[in-house]
Amino acid sequence: MNLSLLSSCKSLRSLQQLQAHATKSSLDADPLIAGKLLLHCAVHISDARAHDYAERLLRHAPNPDAFMYNAVIRGFSDSDAPHSSISTFALMLKNLSSQIDSFTLAFSLKSAANLRCLRTGSQLHCQALLRGLDIHIFVGTTLISMYAECGRVEFARDVFDEIPEPNTVTWNALLTAFFRRGDVGGAERVFAAMPAKSPTSYNLMLGGYTKLGEFALAGKVFDEMPLKDEVSWSTMILGLAQHGWFEEAFGYFRRLRGVGTRPNEVSLTGVLSACAQAGALEFAKMVHCFVEKVGLIWITPVNNALMDTYSKCGSVDMSRLVFERMTGKRSIVSWTTLITGLAMQGHGEEALALFLEMEGSGVELDGTAFVALLYACAHAGLVEEGSEMFDKMSKLYRLNPEIEHYGCMVDLYSRAGQLTRAYDFVTQMPIPPNDIIWRTLLGACSFHGNVQLAEKVKDKLSEMDPNNRGDRVLLSNIYAVAGKWRDAAAVRRSMAELKLRKSPGWSRIEVDKMVYTFVAGVREDGVTREAYEKLGEVMSRIRVEGGYVPEVAIVLHDVEEEEKEGAVAAHSEKLAVAFGMARSGGGRRVRVVKNLRVCRDCHNVMKLISKVYDMEIVMRDRSRFHYFKNGNCSCKDYW
């Protein structure tokens, strides 16, 4: 039998055929062939069943050698069942203890690290000590990583000190250990003491700094490092994107293109993540073209990132198109991304249909997929459908509902106005409800004007999160709407006395592939002045032609209120839209992204602008999309 056939075996099925062929020719008795087959099965086939199959082969082999044990231990070490790797180690300890070598220990330790199991890791450390393998360069380095994963930097250090000739990889493992525990000073000392540095050492520093948001330090290392590889660029771009520095992430991407390095798929997903968060559609389209051009469109995570970006930029049609045309295998993430995208736009029915299609597609469902589905049902008023799916989740799919799922259900009933059902559901939950759940209910009380229930709910919230500003705003609004002025005023006084924190609100708009950020109350730069000027003109026109009346009176507007200064007149979304109108040169569409939920007054203003100026406004707020057109909003005034 030709062993080179092995590399063409990409599926468990084709491998089993080869296996059958070997058995028929009595070749399976050859330990070399049996071992190679087993290794290929355990390591090179990305199918959970392949690992189990390899383990069965091992257990049935007449005289399995160390190579075969090692193959199975390795196969499980990077799977989602690392504990099977440990049980295989135990089997080897029983049957072939004398043959345990550096490979066995390195792979087993990797599993212990993935399991974050200090007990298992320490026991393996003992086995290594018994055999004098703890100072073996590969085993020792993996030991350091294992202790790092388990958060025991002092043990990692002890192992390091025993290794006679640590190489750069060993030093890197130690560096990782210090960062993992958040000891930046320690990491910096290790970095300074290293006798030699490979690009990985620098990249570890970049990763350590960017995770902490230390971009000045990261930038310095980045500029000083002699050789920047793909990981260096990806780390910077991803780190910036994850900390909300979108324009800076774009800057690194432009720089990367400028120096002629070809961005890899990780840099691309990173820059797409920045586009998604910032709502930068034009930049995203450019990245999409680039992905096609460099031939990385077959990579599933890149497609998923593209879909997510288009959805979050308000172009769910493009998202759907990417999904339909993707050449790579659709993962559970691909399906969930599109379902969420459809749900955010209020296309609940289509989201539900897609979920049903996913059920038949053979992908393994997970909890997040159900979060997306329940979110879709909640936003489209599909109460009974959502309810049924929630039951199905545990009964049919054996997925344990988590707090997010209960939250979705409370939202589902609340939005539909079934407050009693929502409240009963909360009181009968098998796990204790968190503040988010009570807050959902409080919001629903506010929307439906249920003062009695609101007071009950507020008591719960006061116990859990006594200093939350948003909760008091909601309660005050409930009283105000019910005409209980005295109660409303008392809540507001208590807020003033406590000087409760405010979440800073911002809105962003993309013009000519540049993203502009607006914050209420800040007005020094030219861009903001331009926005204010246009806003003044817009407001007076909608007052005259649209009959606008500001909703200031007694009701406090924002759930998570922006700057109260200047009342609601200068909320950041108004500034961003005005700026977009000033710069769009008569364009009929403006797209804005806001980090909080849009307030009622701004929502009203957007409707009027869409009518008076005959234009469309697409606004993504914290929970969904609003399409303003002809004086109406796609959310039907419920958000």
Partner DNA sequence: TTACTAATGC
Asked if 440 and 411 count as a contact pair (C-beta separation under 8 A), the reply is yes
Q: Are 146 and 121 in contact (CB under 8 A)?
A: yes
Q: In which order are the strands placed within the sheet that holds 625-629? A: 514-519, 506-511, 589-594, 616-620, 625-629, 632-633
454 to 473: interface string for DNA, x by CB under 7 A: --------------------
- How far apart are CB 67 and DNA at their closest, in Å? 5
Stretch 123-152: interaction string toward DNA, x if CB under 7 A: --------------xxx-xx--x-------
Nearer to DNA, 345 or 610 (CB): 345
Q: How far is the CB of 32 from DNA (least distance, A)?
A: 10
CB of 398 to DNA, least distance (A): 16
How distant, in Å, are the alpha carbons of 100, 109, 527, 552, 605 from that of 575? 68, 56, 10, 18, 12
Q: Which stretch binds DNA (CB under 7 A): 330-338, 443-451, 466-474, 553-561?
A: 330-338
Cβ-contact 370, 399 below 8 angstroms: yes
Q: Which is nearer to DNA, 122 or 331 (CB)?
A: 331
Closest distance of CB 495 from DNA, Å: 29
Both tokens assigned to 454: 């609101």
Q: Looking at 30, 47, 359, 404, which residue binds DNA (CB under 7 A)?
A: 404
Name which position in 45, 205, 369, 619 contacts DNA (CB under 7 A).
Answer: 369
Contact 210, 179 (CB under 8 A): no
Chain centroid offset of residue 32 CA = 44
The torsion angle over the Cα atoms of residues 83, 89, 93 and 96, rounded to 10 degrees, is 150
Going from the C-alpha of 277 to that of each of 127, 271, 273, 507, 560, the distances in angstroms are: 48, 10, 6, 11, 19
Name the pairing type of β-strands 632-633 and 589-594: unpaired
Residue closer to DNA by CB (options 139, 535) is 139
What does the per-residue mask of binding to DNA show for 370-389, with x meaning CB under 7 A?
-xx--x--------------
Residue 263 touches DNA, criterion: CB under 7 A:
no
Based on CB atoms, which residue is closest to DNA, 276 or 437? 276
> Binding residue for DNA (CB under 7 A) from 366, 424, 463, 545?
366
Least separation, in Å, of the C-beta of 514 and DNA? Answer: 23
Residue 83, classified by CB atoms within 10 Å of its CB into exposed (0-12), middle (13-18) or buried (19+), is middle
The DSSP secondary structure of 214-227, one letter per residue, reads -HHHHHHHHHH-S-
Closest CA to 634 of 594, 608, 598, 607: 607
Single-letter amino acid, residue 615: M
Query: What residue has token string 């909300």?
Result: 244
Would you say 488 and 476 are in contact if contact means Cβ atoms under 8 Å apart?
Answer: yes
For residue 71, the minimal CB distance to DNA (Å) is: 6
Instruction: Return d(Cα 423, Cα 298) in angstroms, integer.
Output: 47
Instruction: Tell me which stretch binds DNA (CB under 7 A): 16-24, 63-71, 440-448, 450-458.
Output: 63-71
**Closest distance to DNA from the beta carbon of 275 (Å):** 11
- In the complex with DNA, the residue whose CB is nearer, 168 or 584, is 168
Q: By rule CB under 7 A, what count of residues binds DNA?
A: 66
Please, is 524 exposed, middle or buried when counting C-beta atoms within 10 Å of its C-beta (0-12, 13-18, 19+)? Answer: exposed
**Residue 16 C-beta: closest distance to DNA, Å:** 21
Q: Which residues within the stretch 185-244 sit at the binding site for DNA (CB under 7 A)?
A: 198-201, 203-204, 207, 229-231, 234-235, 238, 242
Residue 214 or 616 having the CB closest to DNA: 214
Query: Is the CB of 173 or the CB of 578 nearer to DNA?
Result: 173
Type of residue at 205? M
Identify residues 21-60 at the interface with DNA (CB under 7 A): 39
Piece of the chain touching DNA by CB under 7 A; list 116-124, 336-344, 438-446, 472-480: 336-344
Residues 531-590 that bind DNA (CB under 7 A): none
- Residue 334 or 450 having the CB closest to DNA: 334
d(CA 296, CA 302): 8
Stretch in the footprint of DNA (CB under 7 A) among 51-59, 70-78, 314-322, 610-618: 70-78
Using CB under 7 A as the binding rule, whether residue 173 contacts DNA is answered as yes
Nearest to DNA of 48, 567 (CB atom): 48
Which of the ranges 45-53, 368-376, 470-478, 592-600 carries the binding residues for DNA, by CB under 7 A?
368-376
What distance in Å separates the CA atoms of residue 54 and residue 67, rounded to the nearest whole number?
Answer: 13
Q: Shortest Cβ distance from residue 501 to DNA (Å)?
A: 24
Per-residue contact string for residues 83-122; x = within reach of DNA by CB under 7 A:
------------------xxx--x---x------------
d(C-alpha 284, C-alpha 593), whole Å:
15
Which string of x and - marks every residue 269-308 that binds DNA (by CB under 7 A)?
A: xx--x--x----------------------xxxx-xx--x
Query: 16 or 331: whose CB is closer to DNA?
Result: 331
Rounded CA gap, 432 and 434, in Å?
Answer: 6
- Rounded Cα distance between 166 and 193, Å, is 12
**With binding defined as CB under 7 A, does residue 488 bind DNA?**
no
Residue 340 interacting with DNA (CB under 7 A): yes
User: Which of residues 266, 326, 393, 619 is near DNA by CB under 7 A?
Assistant: 266
| Angle value at C-alpha 152, between 151 and 158, nearest 5 degrees | 150
Per-position b or e across 242-279, b if 16+ CB within 10 A of its CB: beebbbbbbebbeebeeeeeebbbbbbbbbbbbbbbbb
CB of 269 to DNA, least distance (A): 5
Identify the residue among 168, 387, 434, 462 touching DNA (CB under 7 A): 168
- The candidate with the shortest Cα–Cα distance to 32, out of 9, 7, 10, 63, is 63
CA distance 311 to 304: 11
Q: Which of 27, 169, 436, 554 binds DNA (CB under 7 A)?
A: 169
Our CB check for DNA shows the closer of 229 and 282 to be 229
Pick 159 or 531: Cβ nearer DNA: 159
Tell me how crowded residue 93 is: count the other CB atoms within 10 A of its CB. 14
Tell me how far, at minimum, the Cβ of 624 lies from DNA, in Å.
Answer: 10
292: buried, middle or exposed (CB in 10 Å: 19+, 13-18, 0-12)?
A: exposed
Q: Which run of H or E residues covers position 628?
A: strand 625-629
Q: What DSSP assignment string belongs to 81-122?
A: -HHHHHHHHHHHHHH-GGG--HHHHHHHHHHHHHHT-HHHHH
**Where on the chain is the footprint of DNA (CB under 7 A)?**
39, 66-67, 70-71, 74, 101-103, 106, 110, 137-139, 141-142, 145, 167-170, 172-173, 176, 198-201, 203-204, 207, 229-231, 234-235, 238, 242, 264-266, 269-270, 273, 276, 299-302, 304-305, 308, 331-334, 336-337, 340, 366, 368-369, 371-372, 375, 404
